[in-house]
Structure 1
Amino acid sequence: MFAGIAAAPAAAESRYPVIPEPMVFDMMRPLGAARGELEVNALALTPSPFRPREAEWAPELEYAFADGKAVEFELPFNGARLEALKLGLQAAFGASADGRSAHGVQYLGIYDRDSGHYSNSLLYMAGHRFSPRWSMMTMVGLDDIAWRRTAGRNVPLLNSTAFYDVAAGTVAGLELNVAGGAQRRVRLFPQVHQRLTRHVNVQVTGGAEKTAGQRVRPAMGMRVVREF
């Protein structure tokens, strides 16, 4: 899912603030994306660069089928094994505060190929640009949603990222990801987004993660993005 330095806003999105996307828990195009925008990207995460078989990676395709509305297809792999199939939908609700704030909603549907279990998540997104350099994107919602109260279901999710525009084409960020439930996972990812060309963006991170019952372990990652 794309996370990166937004290109110059098109006419259809000019009323929305230009806010980068989180690298690890990303969005399906920026809020207010113009109809017809297309992107492919791939994210890879690993606890060690010397253990490529442990790497989790996922190619993604994202398309804005209408102004402010986007769809995403993702194929999560663990090493060479395809683990799941993902479908995402996103809609922007509009901008406020003289175009400095925007909000929307994101839905993710995930089919686990090993267990045959289908899960879904729903998140509310709120972004704000505080100044020409500082901005933030926060996403909060529930994972593995169920109508009935069931153990391990309706897990709270939080992903919040602060961004600092270092220079033209370069953004630094700090992403915090928290998931409740039995795992109680916390991830912290300092990151740098570097736009190489008008349509190519590379992001890297070196952070840490912790799940219940385990020690803190390092995590490294890279995302390569190509916009069309």
Structure 2
Amino acid sequence: MPAVLSKHSIIAGLLASSLSFAPHVLANTDDTGIEGDTALSSEKPHIPEPMVFDLVRPLGVQQGEAEVNALMLHNLSESHTEWAPEFEIGLLDDLALELELPFENSRIEAYKVALQGTWGSLLNRRAIHGWQLIGYYNRERHTYTFDALYILGLRLGSRFSSLSMMGLRRDDLNADGAFVGLFNTSGFYDFSQQVTLGLEMNTEFHANGKWNYLLMPQLHYDFASHTTLQLGAGVTKDHNRKPEFMTGLRLIYAF
């Protein structure tokens, strides 16, 4: 990976990745089609939100908007469960804050704080982009981790859309820490007013050549105008380990 990437090259790369999810490119790109689910990456254009690596409220958030949600991931191969309650709120227009408590089984594993901003729309409002900063404190290892991400959402038609995130993680802010490359991308199909289908892939690339990924097909279902359930089942793999199967769910209430 080059040491320095221009803003235009980053946007172009993410656009190319996002377009790979669409069977047709930028066809019928207005927002008059199927609405999709309540859990959104952005409202204008309408783009759903990934289940595992979610956003801090939608891009283009309004001041005072708030959300509570809980994510649960269960590793079928190792029989352990990770889960995390979250609170998200729009501090200002286009600026949102998240507080999260990641658990492993019944033990609080870390404290997490995230801040997300919106830069604006692109491609005649068919796309939107922004940024996300995430800080973690691991209670067991007593280490601090920091993520910086660029976000791009793209409406590919009346039913198809995608969301991509690319950035870096510093896995320990001390001198012993290393940088990790992050690339996450998701494609969505708005099946009906209540149901959205998605495919999410989260990847990490380490400086020593190791990598890992999570591939999670998912279904989003709206129970009501402010309540959504996301369900998924997929596979995760570290560089030198066998694939492991995971199931997940996220329950979301926005107000």
**TM-score normalised to structure 2 length:** 0.80
* 1:65 aligned counterpart, secondary structure: strand
RMSD, aligned α-carbons? 2.3
Change in CA separation of 1:180 and 1:50 when aligned onto 2, cut-off 3 Å: closer
- Measured in 2, the distance between the counterparts of 1:7 and 1:23 equals 9
Partner of 1:212: 239
CA shift digits 1:196-218 (9 cap, x unpaired): 00111000000000012210010
Q: Where in structure 1 are there 5+ consecutive unaligned residues?
A: none
Residue 68 (structure 2) pairs with residue 36 (structure 1) = no
CA shift digits 1:176-213 (9 cap, x unpaired): 11001165111100000101001110000000000122
- Measured in 2, the distance between the counterparts of 1:216 and 1:196 equals 33
Please point out which of 150, 171, 179 is paired with 2:204: 179
Residue 92 (structure 2) pairs with residue 60 (structure 1) = no
* 2:119 aligned counterpart, secondary structure: strand
Residue 49 (structure 2) pairs with residue 21 (structure 1) = yes
Residue 229 (structure 2) pairs with residue 202 (structure 1) = yes
AA aligned to 2:231 is: V
User: Shift in Å at residue 170 of structure 1?
Assistant: 1.0
User: Shift in Å at residue 99 of structure 1?
Assistant: 1.2
User: Shift in Å at residue 146 of structure 1?
Assistant: 7.5
Change in CA separation of 1:97 and 1:76 when aligned onto 2, cut-off 3 Å: same
Q: Mapping of 1:145-160 within 5 angstroms?
A: 153-160=178-185
AA aligned to 1:171 is: T
CA shift digits 1:80-106 (9 cap, x unpaired): 000000000000000122211000000
**TM-score normalised to structure 1 length:** 0.89
Q: Give the percent of matched residue pairs that are identical in Structure 1 and Structure 2.
A: 38
Contact 1:62 1:71 in 2 (8 A): yes
- Measured in 2, the distance between the counterparts of 1:160 and 1:202 equals 20
Partner of 1:48: 76
- Measured in 2, the distance between the counterparts of 1:76 and 1:97 equals 37
* 1:210 aligned counterpart, secondary structure: strand
Partner of 1:5: 37
Partner of 1:95: 121
After the TM superposition, which parts of structure 1 deviate over 6 Å for at least 4 consecutive aligned residues? 145-148
The structure showing larger relative contact order (alpha-carbon pairs under 8 Å, at least 6 residues apart) is 2
Residue 166 (structure 2) pairs with residue 140 (structure 1) = yes
Contact 1:6 1:19 in 2 (8 A): no
- Measured in 2, the distance between the counterparts of 1:7 and 1:174 equals 15
- Measured in 2, the distance between the counterparts of 1:159 and 1:86 equals 19
Q: Mapping of 1:164-175 within 5 angstroms?
A: 164-175=189-200
Contact 1:155 1:179 in 2 (8 A): yes
Q: Quick check: 76-85 or 26-35, which moved more?
A: 26-35
Contact 2:85 2:102 in 1 (8 A): yes
Q: Mapping of 1:63-82 within 5 angstroms?
A: 63-82=89-108
